[in-house]
Amino acid sequence: MKNINGPLKIGIGGGIGTGKTSLTEAIAKNISKKISMAVISNDIYTTEDAEYLMKAQVLPIDRIKGVETGGCPHTAVRDEPSINLLAVEEMKKKFPDLELLLLESGGDNLAATFSPELVDMSIYMFDVCMGQDIPRKKSPAIIKSDLLVINKIDLAPYVDVDLDQMKKDVEEARNGLPYVFCDMKKNIGIDKITDFLISNGGL
């Protein structure tokens, strides 16, 4: 039984609008037929992202839960994650066979990380529109997340980002840890992310 220790819990964090919900949607489309999964999506005052995922019909409605954090996104996933821990327990109870649980944080800053009490591994996202120098600025999320996703590579020419240079800077910041350059609109990089979850998360 794959979920002998409960579902693999993956945190997806990153800047506002970088593509966290798009990634959640893509992962669900890619593997939800083979793997029992659910999503917990954080927003500050609404359940907008959860509603988006429900409308997109990527998973049955009862496998998607919106959490209204009401404050700084990182508080609810790092400093005081009780609201999310409750949501995790609720999903585990509803779906005892659950193998994968994705927890999307609200959009946040470069220091956003997840409490190890809440997730087993974390994915951090930034997008090329945030600027050429983002990987050089480093930060706990860029350096230490289990997987770094650099999204919206399709937009690099429009925001004067040199992807070859960005790759060199990412390599240096990650110091051997994995990363993936993605274009969610064209589904580029998604397979590498799901492969990472399957091989490193034991799915």
Ligand X SMILES: Nc1nc2c(ncn2[C@@H]2O[C@H](COP(=O)(O)OP(=O)(O)OP(=O)(O)O)[C@@H](O)[C@H]2O)c(=O)[nH]1
Query: Applying CB under 6 A, which residues contact ligand X?
Result: 14, 16-22, 49, 107, 151-152, 154-155, 183-185
Q: How far is the CB of 99 from ligand X (least distance, A)?
A: 23
Under the criterion CB under 5 A, does residue 127 sit at the interface with Mg ion?
Answer: no
Q: Tell me if residue 10 falls in helix, strand or coil.
A: strand
Cα end-to-end span (Å), the chain: 10
Beta strands in 33-154 (DSSP E): 37-43, 64-68, 100-104, 121-127, 147-151
Q: Which is nearer to ligand X, 113 or 151 (CB)?
A: 151
Q: How far is the CB of 170 from ligand X (least distance, A)?
A: 16
Instruction: Name the binder of 152 from Mg ion, ligand X, none, CB < 5-8 A by kind.
Output: ligand X
Q: Tell me if residue 68 falls in helix, strand or coil.
A: strand
Q: Which is nearer to ligand X, 66 or 95 (CB)?
A: 66
Rounded Cα distance between 141 and 43, Å, is 19
Q: How far is the CB of 58 from ligand X (least distance, A)?
A: 12
